[in-house]
Amino acid sequence: MGQSIRAHCKKSELRAADFKKVKAKDINNISAVIDFSSPESFIACVNFCTENSIPLISGTTGLSGEHLEIVGTAKKFIPILLASNMSLGIANLKSSIDQYLSSISTPSKCKIIEIHHRHKKDSPSGTAIEIQSYLANLPGSKIDSQIDVQSLRIGDIFGIHRIIFENAEGVTTFQHIANSRIVFARGALQAAKWIHSKNPGEYSFADFLNKKL
């Protein structure tokens, strides 16, 4: 993700530096820290941003209750945006599913299949968990049983999320395929520009998409 972010910056007026490799950091020239690391490194990012009053964008998944407690403290001092997926396509996918469930009257079973590269450590993916929670909490949901999540780790796949609904009328499938990491890099950079002017607090990618204050 770091390489994708730097590559995208080269095509724009934005500048990016590797957080770990830059020893002498000029705090005045940092608009935001973008974190796609690990739960362990996430803590270091939050602490650095809090100590230096710098906004944080994090797409790191696999965070525990302890991590969220740290966020709960940090958000009193800096703006933090947490998102398991920063693709506009996933946001559109959720919106399409919402419209579909609003249009049907037949109760449906739901299954989520997520496929990622063999090196991805967390399973299921943060995006799959987010979609599962989103569907489970929809008002008046037509889903009549527990949502099953299946995870596969294959080759160099950037990310496939497939949501399948099955009822007496048939099977309906929604799917998003990420062809490269650029989609996530672009979303993270756009969110970083947006959050730079926000007040301390915790934000979601949906807040950015909806331009909430």
| Catalytic positions | 116, 120
CB 42 within 8 A of CB 64: no
pLDDT digits 0-9 by tens, 69-97: 999 999 999 999 998 888 888 888 988 99
| CATH of the domain spanning 2-86+181-210 | 3.40.50.720
CB 59 within 8 A of CB 33: no
Residues of the chain with pLDDT under 50: 212-213
Alpha carbons 123 and 115: distance in angstroms, whole number: 10
**Could you tell me the fold of the domain covering 88-177?**
Dihydrodipicolinate Reductase; domain 2 (3.30.360)
Identify the burial level of 18 via C-beta atoms within 10 angstroms of its C-beta, where 0-12 means exposed, 13-18 middle and 19 or more buried: exposed
Indicate the angle between helix axes 65-74 and 39-52, nearest 10 degrees.
Answer: 10
Tell me the domain boundaries of the chain: 2-86+181-210, 88-177
Indicate the angle between helix axes 182-195 and 88-103, nearest 10 degrees.
Answer: 90
Phi and psi at residue 106, to the nearest 5°: -90, 125
